[in-house]
Amino acid sequence: MSDVIKLSEKQLAVIGILREADGPMFASDIAAQDPVLFEKGEKSVNPLMTHLVAKYGLVEKAEAAKEVQDKEGNTVTRTYKTYSLTELGREAVVEGR
């Protein structure tokens, strides 16, 4: 693909993290890779995915179970979205705006 896709700094970081990942990642795991950039944790990552999935087609989402602590400190299993690169996301030329 010869077209360059212009992305924000945070979107570029997400693509870079996913390119280095071995497989799908939860938003919280993506945020943990750069806690300064993603200062609000997964709440910083989830909105970025809307454009990366729907507008650009660089990322695909699925669901997976993850064990987390509830408010009482109990370990519970919850379902969360996972994100991974599409073929376009692996091959596209991306740069900052």
pLDDT beyond 70 at 2: no
Say whether pTM exceeds 0.85: yes
Sheet of strand 59-69, all strands in order from the earlier edge strand to the far edge? 25-26, 75-85, 59-69
In sequence order, the 6+-apart residues with CB closer than 8 A to the CB of 6 are 94, 95, 96, 97
Architecture of domain 4-96: Orthogonal Bundle (1.10)
Q: Where in the chain are the domains? A: 4-96
Under the banding of pLDDT at 50, 70 and 90, the label for residue 1 is very low
